[in-house]
């Protein structure tokens, strides 16, 4: 059985979830407001921020995506999102 | 194609060992106004709607799969450690006999999921009005599940999902305005 | 939560003297903010990403908190 995840896992994950959620909201908004340049700029800035947050998280807890960059294969290892 | 990210859209926490809540939540898993129906409805409509609103159907349809995964996580957490006796108490005996601890796409009354939950009229306005209605019905279902649940953490996640229905409904209303080509007149609808 | 009042409406159904259950009084229903917004204007104020996640939307103008048994309590 994989060992229990530290509190840090949840706090770091929630930061990623927050940025990702803002990206999702802007994505849907831009689908109906394609000319809003400010919203588009904000979306690209948040995407950059997500990349920065992903790096330390994936180094500690494994890849979030199968094509994530790591020094070995961590993606298919438990726990899965519904288990944490 | 789709790319999977190994995380939930919003954290799912369940604080009480109450498998009866799982019985209610199944409504949003495989019910008529549930997340599976929503995802399949919007993604199927993409092929016969004007190009300028395809992206919206694509992206909301995709988000619905993230919601389906959240509902599944709730049901999983509520049932995985329950004894057959607890499942019986929760009204899940029939489910257990047929499916064990597996999840199944049915509604709260155990009626299996059916494609007839999803309309596909090929008329953009008819389809978008169905989508708006579907979002409002899902919002109502979340309200009634919250009313039935005393689990504070679970209700927190359910409130998130209810709010998403509001945002999706807003976007579908905007899609109707785009198709009416009334967008620049700033008319209230 | 005063703002929420606007997005909850109420009615009082007729109560017969022969009705078996006591009159619960007013019944409430939701009329969330998107019903009044029209096409979302640009540059609306936003929640921070953390607060947005917690609320379920990036825009305060679309936020509609739901209280348990709002139908009965309003």
Phi/psi for A76 (5° steps) reads -90, 15
Task: Give the tens place of pLDDT for each residue, C41-52.
Answer: 999 999 999 999
Nearest chain A residue to B76 by CA distance is: A82
Task: Establish if B176 belongs to a structural domain.
Answer: no
Task: Establish if B170 belongs to a structural domain.
Answer: no
| Partners of chain B (3+ Cβ pairs below 8 A) | A, C
Give residue C1's pLDDT. Answer: 38
Task: Establish if B85 belongs to a structural domain.
Answer: yes
Task: Establish if C39 belongs to a structural domain.
Answer: no
Task: Establish if A21 belongs to a structural domain.
Answer: yes
Percent of chain B's residues with pLDDT above 90: 94
Task: Establish if C51 belongs to a structural domain.
Answer: yes
- How many CB pairs (< 8 A) connect A and B? 65
How many Å apart are CA C40 and CA C60, to the nearest integer? 12
Is residue B107 predicted with pLDDT exceeding 70?
yes
ipTM of the complex: 0.95
* Partner-chain contact C58 A38, CB within 8 Å: no
Mutate to test the interface with C, among A11, A12, A25 (most CBs of C within 10 A): A25
A79 neighbourhood in chain B, CB within 8 Å? none
Percent of chain A's residues with pLDDT above 90: 81
Count of the separate structural domains present in chain C: 1
The domain that contains B83 carries what CATH number? 1.20.1260.10
Count of the separate structural domains present in chain A: 1
The range of the structural domain enclosing residue C63 comes to 26-34+44-74
* Partner-chain contact C40 A32, CB within 8 Å: yes
Task: Establish if A55 belongs to a structural domain.
Answer: yes
What integer is the mean pLDDT of B71-82? Answer: 96
The range of the structural domain enclosing residue B55 comes to 19-150
Q: Which residue has the higher pLDDT, B6 or C68?
A: B6
Count of the separate structural domains present in chain B: 1
* Partner-chain contact C34 B166, CB within 8 Å: yes
How many Å apart are CA A79 and CA B104, to the nearest integer? 22
Asked whether the beta carbons of B134 and B38 are under 8 A apart, the reply is yes
Provide the pLDDT confidence category of residue C6 given band limits of 50, 70 and 90: confident
The range of the structural domain enclosing residue A44 comes to 7-61
Task: Give the tens place of pLDDT for each residue, B39-69.
Answer: 999 999 999 999 999 999 999 999 999 999 9
Give residue C3's pLDDT. Answer: 47
Task: Establish if B60 belongs to a structural domain.
Answer: yes
DSSP per-residue letters across B44-69: HHGGGS-HHHHHHHHHHHHHHHHHHH
Give residue A70's pLDDT. Answer: 76
């Amino acid at each position: 059985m994989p060992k229990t995840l530290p509190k840090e896992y949840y706090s770091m994950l929630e930061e990623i979830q927050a940025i990702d959620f803002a990206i999702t909201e802007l994505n849907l908004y831009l689908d109906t407001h394609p000319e809003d340049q400010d919203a588009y700029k904000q979306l690209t800035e948040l995407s950059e921020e997500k990349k920065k947050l992903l790096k330390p998280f994936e180094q500690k807890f494994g890849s979030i995506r199968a094509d994530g960059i790591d020094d070995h294969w961590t993606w298919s290892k438990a726990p899965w999102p519904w288990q944490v | 194609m789709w790319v999977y990210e190994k995380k939930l859209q919003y954290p799912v926490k369940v604080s009480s060992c109450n498998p009866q809540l799982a019985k209610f939540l199944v409504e949003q898993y495989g019910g008529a106004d549930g997340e599976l129906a929503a995802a399949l409805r919007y993604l199927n409509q993409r092929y016969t709607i004007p190009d300028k609103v395809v992206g919206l159907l694509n992206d909301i349809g995709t988000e619905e799969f993230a919601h389906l995964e959240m509902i599944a996580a709730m049901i999983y957490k509520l049932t995985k450690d329950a004894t057959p006796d607890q499942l019986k108490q929760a009204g899940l005996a029939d489910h257990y006999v047929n499916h064990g601890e597996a999840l199944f796409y049915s509604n709260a009354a155990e009626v299996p999921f059916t494609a007839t939950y999803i309309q596909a009229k090929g008329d953009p306005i008819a389809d978008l009005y169905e989508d708006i209605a579907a979002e409002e019905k899902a919002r109502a279902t979340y309200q009634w599940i919250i009313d039935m649940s005393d689990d504070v953490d679970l209700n927190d996640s359910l409130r998130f999902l209810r709010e998403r229905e509001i945002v999706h409904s807003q976007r579908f209303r905007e899609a109707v305005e785009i198709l009416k080509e009334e967008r620049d007149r700033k008319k209230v609808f | 939560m005063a703002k929420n009042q606007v997005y909850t409406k109420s009615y009082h159904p007729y109560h017969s003297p022969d009705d078996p259950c006591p009159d619960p009084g007013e019944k409430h229903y939701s009329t969330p903010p998107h019903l009044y917004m029209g096409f979302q204007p640009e540059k609306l104020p936003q929640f921070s990403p953390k607060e947005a996640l917690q609320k379920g939307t990036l825009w305060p103008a679309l936020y509609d908190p739901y209280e348990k048994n709002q139908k009965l309590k309003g």
